[in-house]
Amino acid sequence: MIFNDAGLKLIREFEGCALKSYQDQGGVWTCGWGSTGKDIGPDTCWTQEEADARLDQHIQEVSNQVIALLINQGLTANQFSALVCFTYNVGSGNLSKSTLLHCINTYHVDDASNEFTRWDKVNGVENAGLLRRREAEKALFLS
């Protein structure tokens, strides 16, 4: 399965690129194209090249994590890319426990598309930005 340019465009659009770290809406230190991790804190600063390299690395890691969780290997490039975009944001642990993945792996792919928009909350509160992202991921999944 291949992560495509449409998926990359979605990640870049919704993550944006910050070369100086900031705390996201959930309070997590973030830098570059939405990257998080133990190496990112209040004083983290990257060059554009570092941010782009981390994005490429993170997409490859997330793609491999998604592939490892899939029983249904028959997804289209857009379906797979939407799933990678989703997982880039929520993490593979959340994907692994989701009804979204269950629907895909039980070959109810049509039902899976309706699960994206259920993931629109930050700390239990609905978030308009996340809803827009989930709608875009759903649209890519259905295209």
Residues serving a catalytic function are 15
Helix, strand, coil share (%) of the chain residues, nearest 5? 60, 10, 30
Q: What is the CA radius of gyration of the chain?
A: 15
Beta bridge partners of 23: 29
Residue 47 burial (10 A CB sphere; 0-12, 13-18, 19+)? exposed
Distance CA 50, CA 106 (A): 39
Q: In which region does residue 124 sit, left (phi positive, over 0), alpha (psi from -120 to 50) or beta (all else)?
A: left
Contact 15, 69 (CB under 8 A): no
